[in-house]
A and B are shown apart, each in its own frame.
Chain A
């Protein structure tokens, strides 16, 4: 009997026993759906982290000097925490020294932030991010101005109380009005709005547009940090090699400013997009390790379901098997018939799983910020697994069927 013949028999059987077929293909279906769905989502998160998250929050070719890590990733020992607490803070003087030390290929700014209250007339909001920065901040962070202008080096020098506000702040306080030239109270001091930034968007659903940016020399300094202390010194280079070069220069400068001996470790911290990405790659590695296990479980369960249903089918069709044997079917013919049947069932199940998996991925794409694209690799893997499990779980029922005694099978009622 040819494979084609067996497939035809199998398809006929699936048509004839729709409900039973549905249950036996649900195993392969769930496994494949799950695999495609999860792989797609994790892939989506991966490209999101690499392209969007790291770029938006940290910027490319950019490093930040902090006195200790801003984002703590992974396990941090008690000892490490104590060491961090003992570290000296960064000061405005450090920023000025770094800026003077680096040549014109670099842009340097300072950044200090805090969450503060802002008031305009009767409207107020407690969760506005106030940033104290220097004039190059806008170029480093690539913040474009929608209305008005950024503040000038002179305004930074004189500590003018001027602000650039985020688009969400503009909408909240000045809906339908032009905010430029108006006044806003930030942490109890009045500021003149000189510009409104273009919307940056959202990361993980959190708005990046709820900020006010003022010169670090303005009154904002009282709201964000102790006197003369700054959170970070941000350096942007033209490309990766010059970024490395700049980092080396800044490291040497900071070590000498802090009088560190060669055997002493840095008591300050460099933060780059790579840190975040390496943290993410740890997470994604865990996900990619756990994924096969989860998919494996669903496939094993699916395989057991298929096996049971096929055993039932063999029992139900004992007489048919007897007839086929009496008419000359060899063991391998019967075995092949049932194997092809499970393979066909699981292929159909896997096919339905692909469709559902892609739908799921598109749903995630539409409803969340994650970009979800289904990779061909995950489809191929899913199909191989789905069909493989189907065939493997069909082996035992099929060989039971093949071993049936024709006389007993013919007598079976």
Chain B
């Protein structure tokens, strides 16, 4: 596939929430194209709709209006279970609060998406170990989240996001719970993934110095895109 293959395309994407009698327009028509291999930061003040956009792009939610094509497939009208399959195959999530299962080992946490992908136990273990190895945690495989530092936990989460070899790495404030040194570490991991493996990354953040690591910054205001500019690495 060529480098300019369009991975994400939204047209007039809108999302309304019913809050009692009032309707909140969280997204008011977003047209966005993201190509394979891009590293995009989505910025904006709170309430600008960036989390809503993130949920839609991540197939956790369906739009009220507009279309969303992921990898050439329209996902905006899919059922719950179809979306689950898309999340499993196409998307790797990295959350602000890591969202690891506290009782499971690092290895088991990384194995989770493969379990739902229907892989055999041995394949799962091999791929999960390899993914942990890739983020530098080969010696922490059997540790539980509580026995790991914040940075290590986020690395486990990154390993989990990448273990299925997804089209998009979707990160929601990935450094929000980390100190600045650790944040830099994680940003290095992201940059590395983007440069060496051409991993498409979409990252939601409100911190400018974190967004500065991306090659393109999309800014949202009141549910619409207010600016969309490329920047040097």
Residues of B within 8 A of A16 (CB): 103
Name B80-132 residues within 8 Å CB distance of A: 80-81, 84-85, 87-89, 93, 95, 99-101, 103, 112-113, 115-118
Q: Contact between B55 and A327 (Cβ–Cβ < 8 Å)? A: no
Q: Contact between A328 and B85 (Cβ–Cβ < 8 Å)? A: yes
Q: Contact between B103 and A12 (Cβ–Cβ < 8 Å)? A: yes
Q: Contact between B101 and A323 (Cβ–Cβ < 8 Å)? A: yes
- Complexed CA–CA distance, A407 and B112 (Å): 18
Q: Looking across the interface, which residue of chain B has its beta carbon closest to that of A413?
A: B97
Question: Does B28 interact with chain A (Cβ within 8 Å)?
Answer: no
Which of A5, A12, A325 sits near B84, CB closer than 8 Å? Answer: A325
Q: Could you mark each residue 381-413 of chain A with 1 if its beta carbon is under 8 Å from any beta carbon of chain B, else 0?
A: 000000000000000000000000011001000
Q: Looking across the interface, which residue of chain B has its beta carbon closest to that of A403?
A: B80
Q: Contact between B116 and A407 (Cβ–Cβ < 8 Å)? A: no
Question: B111: shortest Cβ distance to chain A, in Å?
Answer: 10
Q: How many pairs, one residue from A and one from B, have CB atoms within 8 Å of each other in the complex?
A: 59
Q: A1-B116, A326-B60 are in contact. Are A410 and B99 (CB under 8 A)?
A: yes
Q: Could you mark each residue 312-324 of chain A with 1 if its beta carbon is under 8 Å from any beta carbon of chain B, else 0?
A: 0000000110111
Q: A406-B60, A407-B60, A410-B99 are in contact. Are A326 and B87 (CB under 8 A)?
A: yes
Q: A319-B99, A320-B101, A407-B55 are in contact. Are A327 and B113 (CB under 8 A)?
A: yes
Question: Does B216 interact with chain A (Cβ within 8 Å)?
Answer: no
Q: Looking across the interface, which residue of chain B has its beta carbon closest to that of A402?
A: B80
Question: A321: shortest Cβ distance to chain B, in Å?
Answer: 11
- Complexed CA–CA distance, A383 and B85 (Å): 36
Which of A187-195, A272-280, A293-301, A329-337 lines the interface with chain B?
A: A329-337
Q: Looking across the interface, which residue of chain B has its beta carbon closest to that of A12?
A: B103
Question: A274: shortest Cβ distance to chain B, in Å?
Answer: 64
Q: Contact between A330 and B80 (Cβ–Cβ < 8 Å)? A: yes
- Complexed CA–CA distance, A204 and B101 (Å): 60
Q: A1-B116, A5-B115, A333-B116 are in contact. Are A326 and B61 (CB under 8 A)?
A: no
Interface-central residue, B88, B116, B160, by most chain A CB under 10 Å = B116
Which of A323, A324, A331, A407 sits near B80, CB closer than 8 Å? Answer: A331
- Complexed CA–CA distance, A333 and B116 (Å): 8
Question: A333: shortest Cβ distance to chain B, in Å?
Answer: 6
Q: Contact between B113 and A328 (Cβ–Cβ < 8 Å)? A: yes
Question: A412: shortest Cβ distance to chain B, in Å?
Answer: 11
Residues of A within 8 A of B93 (CB): 326-327
- Complexed CA–CA distance, A331 and B55 (Å): 18
Residues of A within 8 A of B89 (CB): 328
Q: Contact between A327 and B60 (Cβ–Cβ < 8 Å)? A: no
- Complexed CA–CA distance, A331 and B116 (Å): 11
Q: Contact between A407 and B61 (Cβ–Cβ < 8 Å)? A: yes
- Complexed CA–CA distance, A332 and B81 (Å): 9
Question: B174: shortest Cβ distance to chain A, in Å?
Answer: 14
- Complexed CA–CA distance, A330 and B115 (Å): 12
- Complexed CA–CA distance, A329 and B87 (Å): 9
- Complexed CA–CA distance, A320 and B58 (Å): 18
Name A206-227 residues within 8 Å CB distance of B: none
Residues of B within 8 A of A410 (CB): 60, 95, 99
Q: Looking across the interface, which residue of chain A has its beta carbon closest to that of B124?
A: A5
Q: Contact between B99 and A329 (Cβ–Cβ < 8 Å)? A: no
- Complexed CA–CA distance, A319 and B98 (Å): 12
Question: A109: shortest Cβ distance to chain B, in Å?
Answer: 78
- Complexed CA–CA distance, A160 and B5 (Å): 123
Question: A413: shortest Cβ distance to chain B, in Å?
Answer: 10
Residues of B within 8 A of A323 (CB): 99-101, 112
Residues of B within 8 A of A407 (CB): 55, 60-61
Q: Contact between B103 and A328 (Cβ–Cβ < 8 Å)? A: no
Residues of A within 8 A of B112 (CB): 323-324, 327
- Complexed CA–CA distance, A12 and B105 (Å): 12
Name B134-148 residues within 8 Å CB distance of A: none
Q: Could you mark each residue 13-27 of chain A with 1 if its beta carbon is under 8 Å from any beta carbon of chain B, else 0?
A: 000100000000000
Residues of B within 8 A of A320 (CB): 101
Q: Contact between B160 and A327 (Cβ–Cβ < 8 Å)? A: yes
- Complexed CA–CA distance, A320 and B117 (Å): 18
Residues of A within 8 A of B100 (CB): 323
Residues of B within 8 A of A330 (CB): 80-81, 84-85, 116
Residues of A within 8 A of B116 (CB): 1, 324, 327-330, 333
Q: Could you mark each residue 145-160 of chain B with 1 if its beta carbon is under 8 Å from any beta carbon of chain A, else 0?
A: 0000000000000001
Question: B82: shortest Cβ distance to chain A, in Å?
Answer: 9
Residues of A within 8 A of B103 (CB): 12, 16
- Complexed CA–CA distance, A323 and B101 (Å): 8
- Complexed CA–CA distance, A5 and B112 (Å): 11
Q: Looking across the interface, which residue of chain B has its beta carbon closest to that of A326?
A: B93
Report 26 cross-chain contacts, Cβ distance below 8 Å, ordered by A residue.
A1-B115, A5-B115, A12-B103, A322-B99, A323-B101, A324-B116, A325-B84, A325-B87, A326-B60, A326-B93, A326-B99, A327-B87, A327-B93, A328-B84, A328-B85, A328-B87, A328-B113, A328-B117, A330-B116, A331-B81, A331-B84, A333-B84, A333-B116, A410-B60, A410-B95, A410-B99
- Listed in ascending order, the chain B residues whose CB lies under 8 Å from chain A are 55, 58, 60-61, 80-81, 84-85, 87-89, 93, 95, 99-101, 103, 112-113, 115-118, 160, 164
- Listed in ascending order, the chain A residues whose CB lies under 8 Å from chain B are 1, 5, 12, 16, 319-320, 322-333, 406-407, 410
15 new A-B contacts, CB < 8 A, other than A5-B115, A331-B80, A407-B60, are: A1-B116, A1-B118, A16-B103, A320-B101, A323-B112, A324-B116, A326-B87, A327-B160, A328-B89, A330-B85, A330-B116, A332-B81, A406-B60, A410-B95, A410-B99
- Which 3 interchain pairs have the tightest Cβ spacing? A328-B88, A328-B116, A327-B113
